[in-house]
Amino acid sequence: MPRSRLQRIFSTPLRLTRRTVLYAGLVLLVLVFVPLIVASSRWLHASRIDLTTDQLYTLTPGTLHIVDTLQRPLRLTLYFSDHATRDLPQLRSYEQRVREMLQEMVARSHGRIRLQIIDPVPYSDDEASAEGGGLTAANGGSNGERVFFGLAGSAMSGNVDSEGADDRAPEKTLAIAFFDPAREAFLEYDIAKLLYELNQASKPPIGVISALPVDGNPVLSEQPWTVMQQLGQLFDVKALDPATLKHVDEHMKVLLLIQPKRLPPDAQYAIDQYVLGGGHLVVFVDPDAELDSTPYTADSITFPDHGSDLPRLFKTWGVIYDPSKVVLDRARALQIELAGSSLNHPAMLDLGAQELNRDDVVTASLQRINVSTAGYFDLAPDAHARLIPLLQSSAEAEVVSTQRVLDASNDPASLLQGYKADGTHYVLAARLRGAFDSAFPERVAQPGHLAHSAPNAEVILVADTDLLSDRLWVEPQTILGETMMRVFANNGDLVINLVDNLSGSSALLSIRGRSTSQRPFTRVQALRNVADQKFLQKEQELEQELADTRRRLDELQPAKGSHGSTATAEQRREIEQFRQRQLAINKELRDVQHQLNAEIDALGLRVKFINIVLVPALVVLIGLLYGWRRTRYSRQRR
């Protein structure tokens, strides 16, 4: 029998054995991996790996602490108008971001949080439920439909069943009216704050020490200031008497100190110890509190007596503040009515978005804050704390004496005489954060005396009290016989945000703004920046030539009387030259724009080529090389 036939005979069973082993291996893989996938989808659904650059989908320790310490079951309902946003890809993308963060918190809660997602279609019970839950609809959806995108939360009194059903009325309901993509950096904070507030059984207590009539005067039928009425709706507000104050309760979430004047040493010491013990203090001082009704006296600590200061504590904290100085800002002067005429008051400031800290959760969503005769803060050279601005002036500001502002009360325009802007952004309100020492070291022998604070102590400083008054942010309006307040500035929102932020737990305060999920095309932006510089240079050239041409025409104008035809011809030549040069520069501008578009298009083509052609081609090539090597190896073995 030939040798080749013997080889075929003996090799046939071997090939069948390999094939059998291969099939058996495939069956074994199916038997192992299918149950593994099913088990992981059921029991390991919360296990995910966050590979994003800024860890966008990883909850901060503060949020984890809030979720882990929930005492009551919570029910969350995310309302999103899916059908109405089919033509709004940016909002749909942000909804996915919100939903994934909520699901991450739900998975962490181990059943304490139940999440429901509803599409409130128009004229449905779900739409009515969204409105009743405190959500606000935005216009601009597909076919003019209203868009709901918010979160309603309820705290339940008992346990929710395994299916998430509960027929009992909730004990407490709160809502995020609308998820604004502009607040994406504070998304985690907003949701964690909602969870924290739902978990609270009662209103957080806050204290108020004020030398101003913020609570009104019942004898004179004067109502409390609107900001105090709003605080009373959200917090348990307790008025503290500085004359008898010797200790601030450590359970007091926030202490508002408004217009501190001639505070007794015991009251100052109580405030000092409250801050060192981890309490949250907001100080409102003012060079001239215009609603201070205190009469002028000969023994006043400050003159005029409507100024306020906290010199001993400020000095210990390393804060520089001078009640005899007022910040003027002609670029942000507030328009007022005085003696029947309208004018801009440089000591009354209309602070816009550019003067507000967009990276702080307190001021990120505010648009307008009005202040009047405000002072400013700075840090001493030896200060151990940081001053983080919340409100500041523009670079067109100037500092003048308080007395000068008082003297110009009947003629505010006189404050602009000799005005010299110094290019400084003066800090009108700020967070003071760091480690503080006691301002009363001589009381070290007193029981429970604290000499130092924790490293992350914080105090809020505001160099104006007038922003609390109604006249700078609300005005009464009568509608159908009912008096309502029309809001024209965000002063009240600022105060509510401050107290709301500080009254939360330390875990909530530790949650800072985060990066957004929108990743910019940095290379394209760099190209645009270069082109913008080119455009700016050309625009400057055009404006300069325009000014030169007009000056030349003005020089020719006197000669028109004696040599009309010659002057007119010269003028025409000048105008024609200018027009030709203007057309040339416009062409250069278009060339720059075309060059910019060409570079961006070329970059886009390169990216598309890499993604569509190069990468698949490399995958195919690697596959062909692998197949060729296997075929060659099989032939060699034969």
Concatenated DSSP letters for 536-563?
A: HHHHHHHHHHHHHHHHHHHHHGGGGTTS
**In whole angstroms, what is the distance from residue 120 CA to residue 457 CA?**
44
Which pLDDT value is given to residue 83? 87
pLDDT level of residue 222 (50, 70, 90 thresholds): confident
Residue labelled with tokens 């108020």: 208
Contact by Cβ (8 Å): 588, 538: yes
**In whole angstroms, what is the distance from residue 23 CA to residue 20 CA?**
5
Which pLDDT value is given to residue 480? 55
Percentage of residues in the chain with pLDDT exceeding 70?
75
Q: Strands, DSSP E only, in 305-414?
A: 319-320, 325-329, 333-338, 341-351, 369-372, 378-379, 385-392, 397-401
Taking residues 534-563, report their average pLDDT: 58
Residue 360 has pLDDT above 50, yes or no: yes
Q: How far is CA 103 from CA 44, 348, 584, 622, in A?
A: 14, 47, 59, 40
**In whole angstroms, what is the distance from residue 540 CA to residue 319 CA?**
44
Name the residue type at position 545: E
Which pLDDT value is given to residue 9? 47
Q: Strands, DSSP E only, in 198-261?
A: 205-210, 236-239, 254-258
Name the residue type at position 591: D
Percentage of residues in the chain with pLDDT exceeding 90?
47
Residue 165 has pLDDT above 50, yes or no: no
Overall pTM surpassing 0.95 (yes/no):
no
Range picked from 72-81, 497-506, 540-549 for highest mean pLDDT: 72-81
**In whole angstroms, what is the distance from residue 12 CA to residue 233 CA?**
88
Secondary structure (3-state) at 497:
helix
Which pLDDT value is given to residue 565? 47
Find the length of the chain. Answer: 638
- What average pLDDT is seen over the chain? 82
Range picked from 211-215, 337-341, 361-365 for highest mean pLDDT: 211-215
Beta pairing class for 280-284 and 378-379: unpaired
Q: Model confidence over 520-539: pLDDT tens digits?
A: 555 555 655 665 565 556 65
Nearest-5° Cα angle at 298, 294 to 304: 50
Name the residue type at position 280: H
Q: Sign of the CA dihedral 91, 97, 98, 99?
A: positive
Secondary structure (3-state) at 571:
helix
Which pLDDT value is given to residue 399? 97
Judged by average pLDDT, the poorest of 112-121, 180-189, 346-355, 485-494 is 180-189
pLDDT level of residue 42 (50, 70, 90 thresholds): low
Q: Model confidence over 377-413: pLDDT tens digits?
A: 999 999 999 999 999 999 999 999 999 999 998 899 8
Q: Model confidence over 612-633: pLDDT tens digits?
A: 777 788 888 887 888 788 777 7
First to last CA, the chain: 20
Secondary structure (3-state) at 430:
strand
